[in-house]
């Protein structure tokens, strides 16, 4: 049980850090000056938009595929 709790805590911490990094990347960086040293920590903002769209399309396609399989099997 302790290992499961530790695994869950690590997943929550990793997800929170990933969300914070992505949020800063997408919401703050467009307002930072081009010569600021913090920009070296992040790829171009267009890549963030591409990643978000790719994940969204993948989730939508998966949901539609599951719904289609459920409808065909019923």
How distant, in Å, are the alpha carbons of 14, 34, 47, 50, 61 from that of 17? 5, 24, 18, 20, 27
Residues 17 and 2 both lie in one domain: yes
pLDDT tens figures, 35-74: 889 888 888 888 888 988 999 999 999 999 999 999 999 7
pLDDT, position 25: 87
Dig out the tokens for 45 from the structure.
């903002």
Residues 9 and 22 both lie in one domain: yes
48 C-beta neighbours (distance < 10 Å), count: 19
Residues 17 and 51 both lie in one domain: no
Residues 37 and 63 both lie in one domain: no
Residues 32 and 52 both lie in one domain: no
12 C-beta neighbours (distance < 10 Å), count: 10
pLDDT, position 13: 97
Residues 50 and 34 both lie in one domain: no
Categorize the per-residue pLDDT at 26 as very low, low, confident or very high, splitting at 50, 70 and 90: confident
> Among 13-17, 18-22, 38-42, whose mean pLDDT is lowest?
38-42
Whether residue 29 contacts residue 42, with contact meaning beta carbons closer than 8 Å, is answered with: yes
Residues 35 and 55 both lie in one domain: no
Query: pTM to 2 decimals?
Result: 0.65
Residues 36 and 58 both lie in one domain: no
Q: What domain range is 22 assigned to? A: 1-42
């Amino acid at each position: 049980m302790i290992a499961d709790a530790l695994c869950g805590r690590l997943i929550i911490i990793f997800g929170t850090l990933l969300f914070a990094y992505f949020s800063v990347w997408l919401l703050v960086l467009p307002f930072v000056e081009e010569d600021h040293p913090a920009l070296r920590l992040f790829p171009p903002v267009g890549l963030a938009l591409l990643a978000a769209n790719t994940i969204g399309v993948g989730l939508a396609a998966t949901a539609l595929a599951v719904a289609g399989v459920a409808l065909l099997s019923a």
